[in-house]
Amino acid sequence: MYKYSLYPLLLIIGLFTPLQSFSGVDFQTTLNQLSEKSFSKKIKTVEAIISSKNPRTKFVLESLSKGRVYYIKNTKKVVLGLKSDEKYITKDLVNDETLGIFTKREIKKVGINNKIRQKIKISLAAVDLMDNNKSVRLKAVKAIYKDLNHNIIATIKPLMESESDVDVKEAMLVAINIFNLNSKDSEERISAIRSLKESLEPMVKVRLKHLKSNDDNEQVRLMAESALKNIESRISRFKIIETLFFGISFGSVLILAAIGLAITFGVMGVINMAHGELIMLGAYTTYVVQLLMPNYIGLSILVAIPAAFIVSGLVGILIERGIIRHLHGRPLETLLATFGVSLVLQQVVRTIFSPLNRSVETPEWMSGALEINGILSLTWNRLYIIVFCLIVFAALVMVLKKTSLGLQVRAVSQDRNMARAMGVRSNWVDAMTFGLGSGIAGIAGVALSQLTNVGPNLGQAYIIDSFMVVVFGGVGNLWGTLIGGFGLGIINKFMEPWVGAVLAKVLILIFIILFIQKRPSGLFPRKGRSAETN
Amino acid sequence: MKLHKSISSIALAASLAASMNTSAIAAETIKVGILHSLSGTMAISETTLKDTMLMLIEDQNKKGGVLGKQLEAVVVDPASNWPLFAEKARGLIENDGVDAIFGSWTSVSRKSVLPVIEELNSVFFYPVQYEGEESSKNVFYTGAAPNQQAIPAVDYLMNDLGIERWVLAGTDYVYPRTTNKILKAYLKSKGVADSDIMVNYTPFGHSDWQTIVSDVKSFGSAGMKTAVVSTINGDANVPFYKELGNQGVSSSDIPVIAFSVGEEELSGLDTKPLVGHLAAWNYFMSVDEDVNHEFIAKWKSFIKDDNRVTNDPMEAHYIGFNMWIKAVEKAGTTEANAVQDAIIGVTTPNLSGGVSAMMPNHHITKPVLIGEIQSDGQFETVWSTSGLVAGDAWSDFLPGSKDLVADWRGPLSCGNYNVKTAKCSGQNF
């Protein structure tokens, strides 16, 4: 209990002044106070742990933020808990000794809230400032922008001298300058403004805004204002780039969803209402693959791509052989039959996987964002999906242009009877084409599993959009689908900030209806004789 | 989409009509209707509630049923189709002769059932948090009214986290719109400027959140502490949280407090990027009380799946069902009018260690808990009200409803009584 009286003192001394090290027993006593329910007491305990400078501090803090610290209800001893099955294996936090196995009722997790989490983050960042990896250092510097104080600046200054990496050094300089914006010395403030006038860090903007209206020195106010103007014009430029990126990425999702349909609907002329469900099957395939290889999440996505292609492709061939070929040339019946298939597939998935959404994990290399600067950051999953979309598109164009299957597909779609007369097995070509389109839909499902819910309703959400893109781009034209998808994506994203997401969607639909009135065959209508046969 | 849904529901309705008629055989049982969607978009949330009800009924039967009779569950599937809710409710009361119905999730489905329940004078239990502004003689609201969820949540953010700028983000339908209207009025009464409130609506199942998250990010970088109050419903939450995580919006920068995200929603989600974001409910699975541990164990063995979670609407059904049993025992009959009179004032233990009571306005008393999402998909309670909060049917913060009260005891017996004009306007839906 005597440590309690130390708290005010600890707070004054601050986090980074070395303090007399606690012995192992004392450290455990401090740790045991984490079993307190009140968060205000817990945060004081965390402060005490940080300032204890115990060699285990970093380990304890990391375990705490990962939710692995528990306390035993009987003894109130705070320990490390590792879950295995329904039991918990506990270990001593100080010396790693195994303490025994407990059930869920016997121990309780030490919960933390955002204040504690933030505290841990900052103090771990201070440790990370000395890490060997430069990206860890860079992240650590950026993490403390918001929480600058004398102590941290005093830690950073000597580190900056010895820093070898240019980016980290730059970031440290920014940190010092942000801190100096609050300096008592007006010269220091002015020089800080001068060096920060290009910076896009949100904190800089906040502080400058404050200086602009509150500083007692006029020169500082004026400089802050001009720097702010400069920063804001840069920000608005980057905002346009950002919106463009959002549009392209939204477009690439549309293209992925629509491109399979561009083949089945566009090339074969089959209105396939089950297209969305084929996408859904691809997404569920991703889920199953992840279940099969739980330790290789990163790899599982790559394995899922061919797997989804095969699963959806086979289902597609089955649908074509079983239903669609019997309804050749009767679009209304095809529409209704495939609609029924879509309901059946949804219910099958509900029965097998339950109606609840399934959780598909995002691999490490697809999460987070590529930070260009303080304003513009491009999320990795979107970047990968744009690239993926382009690869799929290119591969599909190659298949249609360069392979014998592609040649036969084009022949059948242009003139079925003539193609048959030339010895093309049109039945076989139909099945293969439909399988190809369905397989591509499956691949789209893999991509979508990274963006949205994997559930029985996944397909419904994309079927309308898919038809929209194909019709807008021009039926039977892959390039039309590409341009149409990107076009609709970009228009949508530029409209969204103005009118909101709901109205943007409505306006896009109105736009397409008007557009189709003017140009019934879309952006890129088919030319020549094949235009009439369809 | 419209066409898609209506055709699907016709098909399902046809298939279910066959199975429905078989249930009216056993003579000496008391029938309880369960009106939850088992297919369509809402199946994801409502199937669990159907199973909860089946478990509660089975459990009650083991204890000897009620009034010496066994209970019999009559399950129908309104297939997430709002008009079908009314049809199915009528079927339950007229054809199957059920004495009480437990059901609905969305407000629009409750509104669709309402005229039928009132016309046929039955008893209906609604287990989900909703926007308030309603009190019917026949409906018992066991979920939270805005003053049992939204208002305390905002208080917590304002007083404990020092939030000064607010993003009110919701799905575009009645619950978020009404809740946000109440919240906006409440925030303004607390002195928040208009320019510090950003309201945003998105369509159902919205999946591309890039622009909105980016807007929230720049709205929140103005130097004032910002939070998002989310009434985003159902499926749209997953991509929303994913985008937040990917764009690097952490809970310590801009916390998101959600009113529709519970344990069940989190179980379909990779929770790593969500840690620290908040939710306001009246129950969390992580509540450390014996009665709750017991309930969880029972649920897991009933559903035969150790990984299944419990959530707030399940607790609401637990409370509502037990209240109904008590009211029936108190009245000595299942007749609707008698039960409606008897149930007011009935108390029953809730799962968070307290005792909930049915108020005269047909809402119940509950504690309000605020939890932070943990990496295992559970919530850690970071704040709770010191006592129980009584549900308020008519919000005190909307100009149209602040003078209204509901009291179903005689002699007033009115769900919409204006204290200023001393007039009972009855229900107007």
Q: Which of A115, A145, A177 is the C-terminal boundary of a domain?
A: A115
Quote the pLDDT of residue A528.
Answer: 55
Non-local CB neighbours of A352 within 8 Å, separated by 6+ positions: none
Domain boundary among A72, A87, A115: A115
- Considering the domain architecture, whether residues B250 and B373 belong to the same structural domain is answered as yes
Considering only CB atoms, B207 lies closest to which of A206, A242, A452, namely A452
Taking the CA atoms of residue B58, residue B59, residue B62 and residue B64 in that order, the dihedral angle to the nearest 10 degrees is -100
The pLDDT of A82-92, averaged and rounded, is 83
What does the pLDDT look like over B276-302, one tens digit per residue? 899 999 999 999 889 999 999 999 999
For chains A and B, CB pairs below 8 A equal 152
| Per-residue tokens: A518 | 């003017």
- B209 and B305 in a single domain? The answer is no
Count CB-CB contacts under 10 A for residue A404. Answer: 8
Domain limit, last residue, from A115, A139, A170:
A115
- Is residue B196 located within the same domain as residue B328? no
- Taking CA A369 as the corner, what is the angle to CA A368 and CA A372, rounded to the nearest 5 degrees? 155
What tens digit of pLDDT does each residue of A37-51 get?
Answer: 888 888 888 888 888
| Dist CA A244 CA A237 (whole Å) | 11
Chain B nearest CA to A440, separation (Å): 21
Looking at the structure, tell me whether residues A322 and A467 fall in a common domain: yes
Instruction: State the smallest CA–CA distance between residue B258 and chain A in angstroms.
Output: 16
Read off the pLDDT of each residue in A367-395 and give the average, rounded to a whole number: 89
Instruction: Check pLDDT > 90 for residue B206.
Output: no
As a whole number of angstroms, the distance between CA A236 and CA A485 comes to 26
- pLDDT of residue B7 exceeding 70: no
**Beta carbons of B96 and B20 less than 8 angstroms apart:** yes
pLDDT bucket at B21, cuts 50 / 70 / 90 = very low
CB atoms within 10 A of CB A352: 9
Mean pLDDT in residue range B165-181: 92
B404 phi-psi bin (left φ>0, alpha ψ -120 to 50, beta other): beta
Closest CA to A231 of A182, A188, A196, A190: A196
Residue numbers in B near A114 (CB within 8 A) = 161, 251-252, 255, 276, 372
Report the domain count for chain A: 3
**Domain-located, residue A364:** no
Q: What is the mean pLDDT of residues B163-170?
A: 94
Per DSSP, the residues of B246-276 read: HTT--TTTS-EEESS--HHHHTTS--GGGTT
Q: How far is CA A109 from the centre of its chain?
A: 29
Q: How many CA atoms lie within 13 A of B384 on its CB side?
A: 21
- Please state the rounded mean pLDDT for residues A373-387: 88
**Residues A293 and A404 occupy one common structural domain:** yes
Asked whether residue B16 carries a pLDDT value surpassing 60, the answer given is no
- Among A126-140, A305-319, B73-87, B176-190, whose mean pLDDT is lowest? A126-140
The single-letter code of the amino acid at A331 is P
When pLDDT is cut at 50, 70 and 90, the band that residue A527 belongs to is low
Residues A163 and A40 grouped into a single domain: no
Domain of B262?
147-287+369-390
Q: Are residues B263 and B317 in the same domain?
A: no
Between CA B270 and CA B279 the distance in angstroms is 17
ipTM: 0.79
Average pLDDT in the B220-247 region? 86
Q: Averaging pLDDT over each range in A196-200, A376-380, A485-489, which range is the top one? A: A485-489
Instruction: Write the CATH number for B313.
Output: 3.40.50.2300
- Alpha-carbon span A233 to A532, nearest angstrom: 53
How is A276-309 classified by DSSP, letter by letter? HHHHHHHHHHHHHHHHH-TT-HHHHHHHHHHHHH
Say how many C-beta atoms besides its own lie within 10 A of residue A496's C-beta. Answer: 24
Give the model confidence (pLDDT) of A277-320 as tens digits: 999 999 999 999 999 998 888 899 999 999 999 999 999 999 99
Given a contact cutoff of 8 angstroms between Cβ atoms, the answer to whether A256 and A450 are in contact is no
CA-to-CA distance for B288 and B310, rounded, in angstroms?
A: 13
Q: Kindly list the distances between the CA atom of residue B265 and the CA atoms of A24, A80, B228, B310, in Å, as whole numbers in the listed order.
A: 42, 28, 18, 11
Residue A503 vs residue A150, higher pLDDT: A503
Distance CA A325, CA B311 (A): 48
Percent of chain A with pLDDT over 90: 31
Summarised one tens digit per residue, pLDDT across range A6-27 is 444 334 334 444 444 446 678 8
Does residue B120 lie within any of the structural domains? yes
Chain B residues closer than 8 Å to A488 by CB: none
Residue A424, pLDDT above cutoff 50? yes
Per-residue pLDDT reduced to its tens digit, B325-383: 999 999 999 999 999 999 999 999 999 999 999 999 999 999 999 999 988 889 989 89
A107 vs B contacts (CB less than 8 Å): none
pLDDT at A23: 60
- Tell me: pLDDT of B404 over 70: yes
Give the pLDDT of residue A5: 41
Chain B nearest-CA residue for A254: B208
DSSP 8-state class, residue B194: G
Cβ-based neighbour number of residue A374 at 10 Å = 20
pLDDT band for position B88 (cuts 50, 70, 90): very high
User: pLDDT at position A112, please?
Assistant: 83
Tens of pLDDT, residues A488-513: 999 999 998 888 888 988 999 999 99
pLDDT at B427: 54
Q: What is the pLDDT of residue A11?
A: 40
Within 8 A of A502 by CB-CB distance, chain B residues are 172, 201-203
Tell me, yes or no, whether A406 and A456 share the same domain.
yes
3-state SS, B56-77, equals HHHHHHHCCCECCEEEEEEEEC
Q: Would the pLDDT of B269 be above 80?
A: no
Q: Which domain holds residue A399?
A: 238-356+388-533
Per-residue confidence (pLDDT) for residue A155, from 0 to 100: 80
User: Is B400 inside a domain boundary?
Assistant: no
Report d(CA B415, CA B394) in Å as an integer.
10
Closest CA to B335 of B172, B142, B122, B139: B122
B429 or A87: which leads in pLDDT: A87
B140 and B153 share one domain: no
> Is residue B105 within 8 Å of B172, Cβ to Cβ?
no
What count of other Cβ atoms lies within 10 Å of the Cβ of residue A420? 15
- Shared-domain flag, residues B327 and B275: no
Q: What is the mean pLDDT of residues A77-84?
A: 86
Residue-wise pLDDT for A59-69, tens only, equals 888 888 888 88
pLDDT surpasses 60 at A229? yes
Ramachandran assignment for B315, one of left (phi > 0), alpha (psi -120 to 50 degrees), beta (any other): alpha
Is residue B10 situated within a structural domain?
Answer: yes
Quickly state the pLDDT bin for B9 (edges 50, 70, 90).
low
Instruction: Return mean pLDDT, chain A.
Output: 85
Domain co-membership, A339 together with A468:
yes
Task: Specify if B35 maps to a domain.
Answer: yes
Residue A381 belongs to some domain of the structure: no
* Confidence band for B393, pLDDT divided at 50, 70 and 90: very high
Highest mean pLDDT among A146-155, B324-333, B379-388 belongs to B324-333
Is residue A3 pLDDT above 60, yes or no? no
In a domain, B425, yes or no: no
Closest among B313, B209, B319, B318 to B264, alpha carbons compared? B313
Q: Which residue has the higher pLDDT, B3 or A247?
A: A247
* Mean local confidence (pLDDT), A214-219: 83
Residues of chain A with C-beta less than 8 angstroms from the C-beta of B264: 356
The helix or strand, by DSSP H or E, that contains position B189, with its residue range, turns out to be: helix B174-189
Q: Are residues B360 and B377 both part of a single domain?
A: no
Asked if B139 and B194 sit in the same domain, the reply is no
- Average pLDDT over chain B, rounded to whole? 88
Looking at the structure, tell me whether residues B176 and B297 fall in a common domain: no
Angle at CA of residue A457, ends A451 and A459, nearest 5°:
70
Assess whether B21 and B133 both reside in one domain: yes
Question: Could you tell me which residue, A103 or B299, shows the higher pLDDT?
Answer: B299
What confidence tier does B275 reach under pLDDT thresholds 50, 70, 90? confident
Give pLDDT tens digits for A321-342: 999 989 888 889 999 999 999 9
Q: What is the separation, in whole angstroms, between the first and last Cα of chain B?
A: 27
Same domain, A202 and A252: no
Most A CBs within 10 A among B36, B163, B204, B214, hence the mutation to make, goes to B214
Helix (H), strand (E) at residue A114: helix A114-128
B39·A382 Cβ contact <8 A: no
Asked if the structure places residue A207 within a domain, the reply is yes
In this structure, are A146 and A257 located in the same domain? no
Q: Are residues A344 and A407 located together in one domain of the fold?
A: yes
The pLDDT assigned to A300 comes to 92
Same-domain check for residues A285 and A331: yes
DSSP 8-state secondary structure symbol assigned to residue B78: -
Quote the crossing angle between the two packed helices A166-180 and A134-143, to the nearest 10°. 10
Query: Are B224 and B331 in the same domain?
Result: no
Answer yes or no: do B184 and B260 share one domain.
yes
DSSP label at A17? Answer: S
Judged by DSSP in three states, A451 sits in coil
pLDDT at position A362 is 85
Q: What is the mean pLDDT of residues A154-177?
A: 86
The distance of B107 to chain A (nearest Cα, Å) reads 20
| SS3 state at A158 | helix
Nearest by CB: B247 against A114, A253, A377: A377
Same domain, A180 and A257: no
pLDDT per position as a tens digit, B301-328 = 999 988 889 999 999 999 999 999 999 9
Q: What's the structural domain count of chain B? A: 2
